[in-house]
Amino acid sequence: MKNRNVIAGLLVSFLILICTASMNAAARYNLPDFTELVEEHADAVVNISTSKQTEVKRGLPPGMDMPELPEGSPFGDFFEKFFGEHGGNGGEEFFNSRSLGSGFIISDDGYVITNHHVVKGADEIIVKLSDRRQLVAEMIGSDPRSDIALLKLEGSNFPSVNLGDSDAVKVGQWVLAIGSPFGFDASVTAGIVSAKGRSLPSENYVPFIQTDVAINPGNSGGPLFDLDGNVVGINSQIYTRSGGFMGLSFAIPIEDAMDVVEQLKTHGYVSRGWLGVYIQEVTRELAESFGMEKPAGALVAKILPDSPAQDTDIQVGDIILSYDGKEVKNSASLPPLVGRTRVGETVKLKLMRDGKTKNIKLKIGQLPEKNQSLASKDAPEEETEDTVFGLVLRPLTDEELENLELENSGLLVLDAQSGAAKSAGIRKGDVIQMINGEPVESVSAFTKLMNDLPEGKFISILVQRSHGPEFLAMRVPEKE
């Protein structure tokens, strides 16, 4: 009997342990409760509406006359209203176009952050608060490159958010958004951080936080909170094929946003650092051609004239591995680092050249207002041409070199036939400038360089295209 009691006691203890462990596991994996966070911070999130007068000219299209209509026809008033009398110049009419977005108050004296694209070109900006007040906001400044705008409300004692640390955000952690999707005020959605440091094609200076939080039109400019109730990002863009949410949302890190805000407050504009180089991603094939064990860094494809980089030892074909002590994992990670650097500051760059590392110092310049563009003209037909490795090539004229802003000579690709060069991505209209770091000055020089290359190995080819320079990796074909 005594043994039975002992066994029963042990069994009960074992069951209690199992239940406790199960409860602890359930608690660990239970979804978080966002109610307290929303109650404390939703009042600082605002709805933003804008209006803009759009001029519309009335009149029939050129070459069209007003149709002859019977007297008293009900269509007479219609045509006169929309196309003017006799179909001529009907004058101008103005229509109010409106947009909706979100924002949030960052200080009790009424400073509001939203997206540049929410308030771009607005004649009037109305901020609607959680207590139903609607206030006209003053535009302090706006920055298209970061998509940040700073507004100011008249008054005091406004509810405001707490600002967090977006650098401390971790992939996989919970985040929450509050905004006005499709005009539905104070809508709350939650999700996790999917990735950090994302670069989008139109936004080179913002290392976006990617989330799967449901963001839709109208959420733009609203805050992204962490579980402690701190704003870590500003919801800015979505990736969509349908016009709605598809699980890919992008937020501007709060550190980058506040750097812009402080400059807008102080100067009314934003100044960014500038290296003056075109860069591109290092692919696996390019890494092999440059003697690297794995892809890393940002490959320098062009050095712009009158730029900070031109006054240093940086060369085309260098790979920037670190910037002022920060690792450059890929080409997308470099522009935000440079952009956040103060103009005139000296930084250290770690480069790879010819398989060896090199350290240089460089004084950062100011990013020009407009990006430099490259133009090309159709080549004259009378120039000498030749076919090498499936490429129909000819030298560039002096005029073409000037139009393309090229200091050295190059070869224009008139046609790319089947072969290793075409497989590498070389196409008609490309200008071949370098082969494995060696400049190409003539068709014969190109042929000699190609014949001297090791068979079966990847080599780098620098080409100039309408949008700028680009390195391509080509596997050298084996000789028959």
- For the full predicted model, state whether its pTM sits above 0.85: no
| Candidate list 99, 220, 236, 289, residue with the active-site label | 220
Domain with CATH 2.30.42.10 in the chain: 273-366, 386-475
> What is the model's pLDDT at position 407?
67
> What is the model's pLDDT at position 93?
58
What does the alpha-carbon distance between residue 318 and residue 214 come to, in Å, rounded to a whole number?
41
H or E segment at 402? helix 398-403
At 4, which amino acid appears?
Answer: R
H or E segment at 300? strand 298-303
Residue 147 annotated as catalytic: yes
Instruction: Report the sign of the C-alpha dihedral through residues 229, 233, 235, 241, in that order.
Output: negative
Percent of the chain predicted with pLDDT > 90:
46
273-366 architecture in CATH? Roll (2.30)
What does the alpha-carbon distance between residue 104 and residue 141 come to, in Å, rounded to a whole number?
16
| Candidate list 102, 116, 146, 147, residue with the active-site label | 147
At 370, which amino acid appears?
Answer: K
34-61: per-residue pLDDT in tens? 999 999 999 999 999 998 776 655 555 5
Domain with CATH 2.40.10.10 in the chain: 43-152, 162-266
Fold of 162-266: Thrombin, subunit H (2.40.10)
What does the alpha-carbon distance between residue 99 and residue 125 come to, in Å, rounded to a whole number?
10
Is residue 90 helix, strand or coil? coil
> What is the model's pLDDT at position 449?
81
> What is the model's pLDDT at position 157?
95
386-475 architecture in CATH? Roll (2.30)
> What is the model's pLDDT at position 377?
32
- What CATH class is the domain 43-152? mainly beta
Positions in the chain whose pLDDT score sits under 70: 1-30, 54-97, 202-203, 370-386, 388, 407-408, 479-480
| Candidate list 43, 107, 117, 333, residue with the active-site label | 117
202-221: per-residue pLDDT in tens? 667 899 999 999 999 999 99
Nearest to 451 by CA among 385, 408, 386, 388: 388
